[in-house]
Amino acid sequence: MSDLLSTRPRLIALLLLAGAAGALGAAVTFQYRDGLPPCELCHWQRWAHAAAIGLLLPAPLALTGQRARGMLLALGGTAFLAGAGIALFHVGVEEHWWQGLSACSVSGPAPDSIEALRAQILGAPLVRCDEIQWSLAGLSMAAWNMVLSLGLALLAFATAWAGYRRRNA
């Protein structure tokens, strides 16, 4: 396996790009085809995948040198790791292990007029972060995203490390 990681970093970069694009594609499909709008933390997780795509996009190109490719893989892995951290936080909010962000819930004083009530309703999030909208095998979308993001981060870091070791052997 280590030989594959060090000899095929372009292929691994393409797999990582496919993983991030697949995660974004699945999220958009769930949103528009299945009618599951994202909460605030879901949007944050999407940004992590988008960052990974932006960082990894030049990695498979022939113009990218080995050292630069390794750096891009490590940076992409960092974006995936950040996404896994956001997903872990989201899972904790869903499971009520800790409090979510103020952007994820309605809070504040009770409205004292119709105008204040209207403003509170219109300013409220459409989807709460602490409610699981969909699950598979007992895991929410955030939990599945955490598993995927951790796997992609490990693959990116392992490939960057294998390339580094091969260059410095």
User: What is the average pLDDT score of the chain?
Assistant: 85
pTM: 0.81
Instruction: Calculate mean pLDDT across residues 16-41.
Output: 92
The pLDDT of residue 9 is 81
To which residue do tokens 């990218």 refer? 64
Q: Residue 21: which of 32, 13, 31 has the closest Cα?
A: 13
Is it the case that residue 2 has pLDDT exceeding 90?
Answer: no
Residue 7 amino acid letter: T
Distances (CA, A) of 80 to 62, 63, 102, 131, 154: 24, 24, 25, 24, 9
Q: What are 97-107's pLDDT values in tens digits?
A: 988 776 565 55
SS3 146: helix
Is it the case that residue 61 has pLDDT exceeding 90?
Answer: no
User: Hey, which residues does 107 pair with through a beta bridge?
Assistant: none
2-100+128-167 has which fold? Answer: Bromodomain-like (1.20.1550)
Is it the case that residue 74 has pLDDT exceeding 60?
Answer: yes
The pLDDT of residue 7 is 62
The pLDDT of residue 109 is 61
Q: What are 113-138's pLDDT values in tens digits?
A: 777 767 766 665 567 777 888 878 98
Is it the case that residue 168 has pLDDT exceeding 90?
Answer: no
Question: What span, in angstroms and rounded, lies between the C-alpha atoms of 45 and 82?
Answer: 9
